[in-house]
Amino acid sequence: MKILVTGASGLLGSSVAAALASAGHTVTTLQRRPSGVGGVRDIAASITDAAAVAEAVAGQQAVVHLAAKVSMTGDPADFEAINIAGTRTLLSAAQDAGVNRFVHISSPSVAHAGDSLVGEGASAADPEQARGEYARTKAHGELLALAADSADFRVLVLRPHLMWGPGDVQLTERIIDRARAGRMPVLGTGAALIDTLYITNAVDAILAALTAVEHHHGEALVVTNGQPRPVGELMTQMALAGGARRPKLSVPVPAALAAGTVVEKVWDLAADVEDALAARLPDPAAARLHETLADEPPLTRFLAEQLSTAHWFDQRRTRAVLNWQPRVSIDEGLTELAAHYGGAAPTVAATMPAGR
């Protein structure tokens, strides 16, 4: 099958492209930086470039859409241009090109209003209730994708939840780096149960979706390992696997929520006036300011909510539709993480059985 993968410069996108190529598919990738994947045709362009998108989808039979602006802060216009307008451009071009399978990668945050999610399925995306610009614009993008679903253009939406693994810079290495620096807090008791998804299982699920979408389409599915764990325990195990010490910093939840709100506002304000501030600073200080603002803020209200509320999902519908099961358990993933980073292997067994 001829398949376009967008956003293949990231860990998940590049891993999906590599797996598809290894399976014998003809793969084209579209992203702003080289994918680094052998055996694929790279198109270096933004999802907002209509001409490049049209070139990328020409002759394709299927699309896996992963390209997105992923950040906890930033200019709302940037999120809208990529996550909404870019998705609209890709959908239109894919329909015009005769693509008949479209797997759209979304996020559980599109249906998360900040409260605990306990054994939930995939609730409808709600841009009005979503927390932050990323979740809001991803919710709009998901709704656009589902609205395009038809018998001739079959759309299936996957929402991977808190993907992690070796080489993941969005979650895994942030936890490890901050734990090494003594800045990885456990909020409250750290007992809130959360679902996560190991990278190998995420790739397998997306490949399964390309087959499943032929017969099951027009819906969204949350994808996880189905092994909820206390967030404090899991973060500690990731930190130890990464070679860091056990996190000792504990912050009460109300204080973390308040601090996250303040940090967001200060971060956005500093980003807005960065050039003016940098012009008044000596070169080393200006460089440090730019480097700091280029990274994610140490805490936001959304992150505080994610680290202090339960969010785990019923996986029965997902597994039935995809005809898929995770093949790497949490403990097996932690063992692989420890082998990659030279840290400590896991010592705590899963707290709940897989599958729910």
* Three-state secondary structure of 6-65: ECCCCHHHHHHHHHHHHCCCEEEEEECCCCCCCCCEEEECCCCCHHHHHHHHCCCCEEEE
Residue 313's DSSP bridge partners are 120
Domains present along the chain, CATH in parentheses: 2-163+197-227+312-331 (3.40.50.720)
Residue type, 207: L
- What is the C-alpha end-to-end distance of the chain, expressed in Å? 33
Catalytic residue annotation:
134
Give yes or no for residue 1 having a pLDDT over 70. Answer: yes
**pLDDT band at 253; cut points 50, 70, 90:** low
Nearest to 330 by CA among 215, 211, 200, 232: 200
Give yes or no for residue 115 having a pLDDT over 80. Answer: no
Residue type, 65: H
Nearest to 135 by CA among 154, 107, 163: 107
Cα 330 to Cα 216: distance, rounded to the nearest angstrom: 28
Q: Does the pTM exceed 0.95? A: no
Nearest to 231 by CA among 311, 142, 124: 311
Give yes or no for residue 325 having a pLDDT over 50. Answer: yes
| Contacts (Cβ under 8 Å, ≥6 apart) of 82 | 46, 47, 48, 67, 68, 69, 137
> With pLDDT > 90 as the criterion, what percentage of the chain qualifies?
55
Consecutive H or E run containing 291: helix 283-294
**What's the pLDDT at 55?**
97
Express each pLDDT in 17-63 by its tens digit: 999 999 999 999 999 988 889 999 999 999 999 999 999 999 999 99
Distances (CA, A) of 229 to 117, 121, 195, 300: 14, 18, 7, 22
Q: Which 3 state secondary structure label does DSSP give 312? A: strand
Q: Which 3 state secondary structure label does DSSP give 3? A: strand
* Three-state secondary structure of 148-168: CCCCCCEEEEEEECCEECCCC
Consecutive H or E run containing 104: strand 101-105
